[in-house]
A and B are shown apart, each in its own frame.
Chain A
Amino acid sequence: MSRIRVLVGTRKGAFILMSDAARRDWQVSGPFFGGWEIFHIAGSPANPDRLYASQTSSWFGQVIQRSDDGGLTWNPVGNDFAYIGDPGTHLYYDGTPKPWTFKRVWHLEPSPSDPDTVYAGVEDAALFRSTDGGQSWQELPGLREQQGAKWMPGAGGMCLHTILLDPVNPARLVVAISAAGAFRSDDGGVSWKPINRGLHSQYIPDPDAEVGHCVHRIAQHPARPGTLFMQKHWDVMRSDDAGESWFEVSGNLPSDFGFAMAVHAHDPDTVYVVPIQSDSEHYPPEGKLRVYRSRKGGNDWDALTDGLPQEHCYVNVLRDAMAVDTLDSCGVYFGTTGGQVYVSADAGDHWQAIVRDLPAVLSVSVQTLP
């Protein structure tokens, strides 16, 4: 019988939530790495017991932890994220040049086929790859050549937070950076191009610029990798040509600002977002925590509220804090800055809190285990 393992990164450690396929009764373990910020934990699709975690601290810097037994035990592996060559400068918040400096790993994306290959998206924005299980890391520097001097941090930092490995074409990668935009490689990460045509951002000098857009998240369905959904700083966007062009699908959302986004495991046209009031008020509109689901690939959205607080709720749902499982009845999960992790075992119709009082949740990822 299938089991579900939910990997939760928080401001003060990591937690692992386990359930059978019913997803009603949960076993909670942790905190692991108590007191450290865990930006992301991810499991290898090729070996689900191989987990990688990004452990970071303003005091003691970056650690990458690896588990080979599904999170029972962990060991630190390599943390040397050295940019190739002189990385030069990017723009700071005030528009002045600032030297590129490594700060932390935001996102880890294991290869679908090789447990020892894993990608890391870092701040200041760059993409690294390890092919030895995280022991050593090599930058893919061609990405920063895409007008990197014009990139600028979003409020959370200049982070590379989204890494999509195309399941059909292994040479194709898509990444997203706040605030630089989306980029695609079609040659395994050697060369890159901006894929931001159609994005419109009033908060940058040229709203239609080739780079500089604050992309918060991109989601993709493995069966239709050419279709991408994007939660931008403002606007929910869609591309049907692997990012060559984008069009807006915000439709009837109460706000098209937000961070998290996911696509249903079995239906490429079913998309989930969590609208947030605004970039000035990082909480849900009207104090109601609502997931919105479109079954038509955007534009037409329904509020999902059953089991979610509908008054006095002022949490946020961060960009890496929403995920789905692959059971027949698709499970949807998200974590909040208030420390709740919610699950819906029926694709969003009904929700329950798995835990309510964790530290602020930074990331949620899900493994469907045999």
Chain B
Amino acid sequence: MATVRVILPYHLYTLAHSDAELDLDVAGPVTLAAVLDALEAAYPMLAGAVRDRATGQRRPLVRFYACQDDCSNLAMKALLPEAVATGREPLVIVGAIAGG
């Protein structure tokens, strides 16, 4: 079991009534899908807010950053960087800059 740090954008941590930064216990390989599974299990109101309920894919205006890299287009089943898996670096969920 890995403990992964996740930083949520304002609208999601207010929706979840949570802190901006969360520690999530992630079972198995630390992939985007596994982190989002853990996020949605702990905060069911975030289901559908980060990834589409029907397709399981990232919502178009949501981005994922880690270790100064944009990992938004990683496959959901791809491993996240080791620094994220070990909790040294957070996975940052961001609302894309769009709309002015």
Query: Residues of A at under 8 Å CB distance from B?
Result: 35-36, 57-63, 76, 79-80, 82, 101-102
Instruction: Tell whether A62 pairs with B48 under 8 Å between CB atoms, given A35-B11, A36-B11, A76-B15.
Output: yes
Q: Which residues of B contact A80 (CB under 8 A)?
A: 47-48, 53
Determine whether the beta carbon of A82 is less than 8 Å from that of B12. no
B10 closest partner in A (C-beta): A35
Determine whether the beta carbon of B48 is less than 8 Å from that of A61. yes
Whether B99 is near chain A, meaning CB under 8 Å from some CB there, is: yes
Q: Which residues of B contact A102 (CB under 8 A)?
A: 54
Whether B4 is near chain A, meaning CB under 8 Å from some CB there, is: no
Query: Residues of B at under 8 Å CB distance from A?
Result: 10-12, 15, 45, 47-50, 52-54, 59, 61-62, 95-96, 98-99
B43 closest partner in A (C-beta): A76
Rounded to whole angstroms, the CA-CA distance of A354 and B45 in the bound complex is 33
Q: Which residues of A contact B15 (CB under 8 A)?
A: 60, 63, 76
Q: What does DSSP make chain B's interface, helix, strand, loop or mixed?
A: loop
Rounded to whole angstroms, the CA-CA distance of A265 and B54 in the bound complex is 42
Q: Which residues of A contact B96 (CB under 8 A)?
A: 59
Which of B49, B98, B99 is within 8 Å of A63, CB to CB? Answer: B49
Determine whether the beta carbon of B47 is less than 8 Å from that of A59. no
Determine whether the beta carbon of B53 is less than 8 Å from that of A82. yes
Q: B96 to chain A: closest CB distance in Å?
A: 7
B17 closest partner in A (C-beta): A75
B16 closest partner in A (C-beta): A76
Q: Which residues of B contact A82 (CB under 8 A)?
A: 53-54
Instruction: Tell whether A61 pairs with B11 under 8 Å between CB atoms, given A82-B54, A102-B54.
Output: no
Q: What does DSSP make chain A's interface, helix, strand, loop or mixed?
A: loop
Q: B22 to chain A: closest CB distance in Å?
A: 16
Q: A330 to chain B: closest CB distance in Å?
A: 37
What are some 5 contacts across the A-B interface (CB < 8 A)? Answer: A36-B11, A59-B11, A59-B62, A61-B53, A101-B54
Which of A35, A36, A79 is within 8 Å of B48, CB to CB? Answer: A79
Rounded to whole angstroms, the CA-CA distance of A41 and B11 in the bound complex is 19
Q: Which residues of B contact A59 (CB under 8 A)?
A: 11, 59, 61-62, 95-96, 98
Which of A35, A79, A101 is within 8 Å of B47, CB to CB? Answer: A79
Q: Which residues of A contact B11 (CB under 8 A)?
A: 35-36, 57, 59-60
Q: Which residues of B contact A101 (CB under 8 A)?
A: 54
Q: B62 to chain A: closest CB distance in Å?
A: 6
Q: Which residues of B contact A60 (CB under 8 A)?
A: 11-12, 15, 49-50, 59, 62, 95
Q: A290 to chain B: closest CB distance in Å?
A: 33
Q: Which residues of B contact A62 (CB under 8 A)?
A: 48
Rounded to whole angstroms, the CA-CA distance of A73 and B100 in the bound complex is 31
Closest A-B pairs by Cβ, 3 of them: A76-B45, A60-B49, A59-B61
Rounded to whole angstroms, the CA-CA distance of A59 and B53 in the bound complex is 14
B50 closest partner in A (C-beta): A60
Q: A168 to chain B: closest CB distance in Å?
A: 37
Instruction: Tell whether A58 pairs with B99 under 8 Å between CB atoms, given A35-B11, A102-B54.
Output: yes
Q: Which residues of A contact B98 (CB under 8 A)?
A: 58-59
Q: Which residues of B contact A57 (CB under 8 A)?
A: 11
Q: Which residues of A contact B54 (CB under 8 A)?
A: 82, 101-102
Rounded to whole angstroms, the CA-CA distance of A58 and B62 in the bound complex is 10
Rounded to whole angstroms, the CA-CA distance of A102 and B98 in the bound complex is 21
Rounded to whole angstroms, the CA-CA distance of A80 and B44 in the bound complex is 11
Rounded to whole angstroms, the CA-CA distance of A61 and B12 in the bound complex is 11
Q: Which residues of A contact B50 (CB under 8 A)?
A: 60
Q: A74 to chain B: closest CB distance in Å?
A: 10
B53 closest partner in A (C-beta): A80
Rounded to whole angstroms, the CA-CA distance of A80 and B12 in the bound complex is 17
Known: A58-B99, A80-B53. 19 other contacts (CB 8 A): A35-B11, A58-B61, A58-B98, A59-B11, A59-B95, A60-B11, A60-B50, A60-B62, A61-B48, A61-B49, A61-B52, A61-B59, A76-B15, A79-B48, A79-B53, A80-B47, A82-B53, A82-B54, A102-B54
